[in-house]
Structure 1
Amino acid sequence: MRRAKITIVGAGNVGATTAHWCAAAELGDIVLLDIPATEDMPKGKALDLMQSSPIMGFDSNVVGTTSYEATAGSDVVVITAGLPRKPGMSRDDLLATNAKIVTAVSEQVKTHSPNAVVIVVSNPLDAMVQRA
């Protein structure tokens, strides 16, 4: 039986925590993806998770990458990508910034995993779900 492939876009705190719990629950093999400027971060977080697997008792495979090609054929894509709201930043400012990010991610998901179930966690959540 084939394992599910789960892509998590955004390797920040929310994305890494999502990857941890998906791996620990053995929901499938995990691809943790972030932007090229953070190349070592998703790889490092994936390595941390893989090294914890014998202690935590799971055998899900976790890889970190900055390449959408590695996400091809994902069954589930969780979008956690986006900037956090900064002091003085209005909800409209956050919407404009994160809408661009979620739209770009969604285009990549359509290209590489057109049949995936997409879960959006980026804020402001109500508007980001419509963008995806």
Structure 2
Amino acid sequence: MTSKITIVGAGNVGAACAQRIAERGYADIVLVDIVNGLPQGKALDILQSAPLLNFDSHLIGTNSYDETANSDVVIITSGLGRKPGMTRDDLLLANMKIITGVIHNV
């Protein structure tokens, strides 16, 4: 049985994680993000590189947590970057809200 890895956050870090996991064939991958079209586009980009990089992983991009059911591993890369004038405490509180929301959905 193939393992399933969910990556929450389809930004640069999440997409890079998905790419590397796909290249190595570790598991089926679900890439999730709240931005409509972003995880789907990133998944398509990764899959289009498969013939050149010689991998055959199963990868989907979605805006729904329904696809994450029965994941063996969940990697959370979502969060805000620090903005000018933002303290580390402010950043921690903002990202804590995001992570809490993710945890309740996975």
- State the Cα distance separating 1:86 from its structure 2 match: 1.1
Aligned partner of 1:18 in structure 2 is 17
Aligned counterparts of 1:3 and 1:51: Cα–Cα separation in 2: 21
In structure 2, what residue type is equivalent to 1:8?
A: I
Aligned counterparts of 1:53 and 1:84: Cα–Cα separation in 2: 30
Structure 2: 5+ residue runs without aligned partners? none
Aligned partner of 1:57 in structure 2 is 54
In structure 1, what residue type is equivalent to 2:49?
A: S
- State the Cα distance separating 1:3 from its structure 2 match: 0.9
Displacement over 2 Å in runs of 4+: none
RMSD of aligned alpha carbons = 0.7
Task: Give the total of aligned pairs.
Answer: 106
Structure 1: 5+ residue runs without aligned partners? 110-132
- State the Cα distance separating 1:107 from its structure 2 match: 1.3
Aligned counterparts of 1:66 and 1:3: Cα–Cα separation in 2: 23
Structure with the greater relative contact order (CA < 8 A, sep ≥ 6): 1 or 2? Answer: 2
Aligned partner of 1:8 in structure 2 is 7
In structure 2, what residue type is equivalent to 1:48?
A: D
Percent identity of paired positions between Structure 1 and Structure 2? 58
Please, what TM-score do these two structures have when normalized by structure 2?
0.97
Structure 1 residues 79-98: Cα deviation after superposition (integer angstroms, max 9, x where no partner):
00110111221001001100
3-state SS, counterpart of residue 81 of structure 2: coil
